[in-house]
Homo-oligomer: A and B are copies of this chain.
Amino acid sequence: MKNIIVGQSGGPTAVINSSLFGVIREGLNHTEEIGHVYGMINGIQGFLQDRYLDLGELPSGTLNALRITPGAYLGSCRYKLPDDLGDEVYPLLFEKLKALKVGYFFYIGGNDSMDTVSKLSRFAAKAKSTIRFIGIPKTIDNDLILTDHTPGFGSAAKYVAASVAEIGLDASVYEAKSVTIVEIMGRHAGWLAASSVLARKYEGDNPVLIYLPEVPFDQEAFLSQVQESLKQRPNLVVCVSEGIHDKEGRFICEYSGEAGTDTFGHKMLTGCGKYLENLVKERLGVKVRSVELNVCQRCSTFAQSLTDAREASMAGSFGVEAALKGETGKMVSFVRASGPNYGISCSLVDVNEVCNQEKTVPLGWITKEGTDVGQEFIDYALPLIQGNPALPMKNGLPDYAYRK
């Protein structure tokens, strides 16, 4: 009888613990094939320091609470395994796995984590180890290839859409002309910024302008677009991805450092939202503010998408089943059912093909002026934000799972 070990890696999301829940529950269900379900504390990095715990010993309340708890219950790391599979860390790691009688290794994470799964599975093949390695995807950025979408994106998209809708209501209470610039996560891919379109309740509603990193940003064009839009409605909400850049590839947020210094004499780097706020104030003289949605995008329980949480858990379960069937070196991927009704089934893809690739918003889904996304995006994203979780509450807040 072999054991499972599972780890979390990279930035946290609202549902990365739902995938952990899926792995644990599925693992514990297979009492004839699986002994223990271990969790690495702080991913590979912590495991190399022998930090792990037995997840079978979690109280059922904690296990259930994982489904609504953001962050990463096991802790995370940003540890990159050496490219050289001859490095001494590999035999060391496999010794530790062997000592724990691990037969199945699951890593929940994004691009870099899939790189880890790729390397470990390739080393296993070389070393003739029978340990199976499966990647469970997660990233709010939705930038993994070979999967319809990634767990974590739906909840972040829902947070963005709800917040932009509410900021739009908040911004429209006064009569005076105003511009509100909302800066949304996504350095290289605009999936999250594009999700702000889901806040639009009718044609012409906010957000009126949406800028993604997929299209080069031109600040003069931006200023005319803002000015033009202010003729249509007095209160403008403009959504920008943090990663917008000009046609030379220079990030707009880097513009702020040109002449700016902070109190300590350092280059003052603000986000692109703050930069554009100052630009609009300077050039258009209109009332303007910027809002950086910040980390709340990836960790809001109230705005969690039930669809996302369920799919995240399903990805974890499916990974365990796949490993038990003998699969290794694979990432769990989502396949969308064709036809009008939304449905997702799990499949497996070669993890070597996934890692170090990046999926961006198709240019055909972005309008010609580069200031909006079309119906294709809405059809794609809308099913992913459906459903609210039933939240176990304690002291007025969701009853989160946590390690002290």
Contact = CB atoms under 8 A, between A and B. Distances in A.
Contacts of A199: 397
B397 A165 contact: yes
Q: Counting chain B CB atoms within 10 Å of each CB, which of A72, A166, A260, A299 scores highest?
A: A166
A245 B173 CA distance: 30
Contact of A300 (B258, B302, B395): B302
Contact of A302 (B162, B265, B266): B162
B396 A305 contact: yes
A165 B395 CA distance: 12
A397 B302 contact: no
A278 B266 contact: yes
Given A46-B175, A397-B161, A301 B402 contact: no
A75 interface: yes
A370 interface: no
Contacts of A265: 259
Contacts of A404: 202, 205
Contacts of A279: 264
Given A396-B198, A397-B199, A299 B402 contact: no
Contact of A397 (B261, B385, B395): B385
Contact of A395 (B69, B72, B382): B382
Interface string A17-56: 0000000000000000000000000100110000000000
A259 B76 CA distance: 38
- How many interface residues does chain A have, given as a range? 35 or more
A71 B170 contact: yes
A294 interface: yes
B396 A386 contact: yes
A107 interface: no
B395 A170 contact: no
B169 A70 contact: yes
A386 B391 CA distance: 13
B292 A292 contact: yes
A201 interface: yes
Contacts of A262: 256, 259-260, 268, 278
Nearest to A78: B174
Nearest to A69: B169
A266 B293 CA distance: 25
Contacts of A261: 259-261
Contacts of A402: 169, 201
Contacts of A395: 198, 382
A94 interface: no
A11 B75 CA distance: 40
Contacts of A152: none
A344 interface: no
Interface string A170-196: 101111000000000000000000000
Contact of A258 (B75, B198, B202, B263): B263
A69 B299 CA distance: 23
A12 B172 CA distance: 10
A7 to B, nearest CB: 12
CB-CB nearest 3 A-B residue pairs: A71-B169, A302-B302, A385-B396
Given A165-B400, A169-B400, A198-B396, 20 more contacts: A11-B173, A42-B175, A70-B166, A71-B172, A75-B173, A77-B175, A165-B397, A167-B296, A167-B299, A169-B299, A170-B295, A255-B263, A260-B260, A260-B268, A261-B261, A263-B275, A268-B268, A292-B294, A300-B302, A302-B302
22 contacts: A45-B175, A46-B175, A71-B170, A71-B172, A71-B173, A75-B172, A78-B174, A161-B396, A162-B302, A166-B299, A166-B400, A198-B397, A202-B404, A259-B262, A260-B260, A260-B268, A263-B275, A263-B278, A266-B282, A385-B396, A385-B397, A388-B391
